[in-house]
Amino acid sequence: MKESDIEEYLTRLEEGIKSYKSQLYRMCWYMRGGVTIDNLLFDLSLEDIQIMNQIVQDNIEITKKSGMPLI
């Protein structure tokens, strides 16, 4: 690989990591202490995280449809 290709690849990896970490921190916020960042990073499988994320997304959608505030 060329040096420029390696730099581009590493930049994409860094962006992916930032995005993933952002999703995990948001999940922590939505779970209101029900899960910690340590749980998400070290204790749970990717499948568990995906399931929890879908539950959070479903609950956000239900809250929006009901007109209740999402605090």
3-class DSSP assignment, residue 44: coil
Q: How many domains does the chain have?
A: 1
Secondary structure string (H, E, C) spanning 20-39: HHHHHHHHHHHHCCCCCHHH
pTM: predicted TM-score of the whole model, two decimal places: 0.77
pLDDT at residue 7 tops 80:
yes
Residue 38 lies in a domain: yes
> What per-residue confidence (pLDDT) applies to 69?
85
**pLDDT tens by residue, 11-61:** 999 999 999 999 999 999 988 889 999 999 999 999 999 999 999 999 999
Is 71 part of any domain?
A: no
Q: Is residue 39 part of a domain?
A: yes
Instruction: Please report which confidence band the pLDDT of residue 8 belongs to, taking 50, 70 and 90 as the band edges.
Output: very high
Domain range holding 20? Answer: 3-66
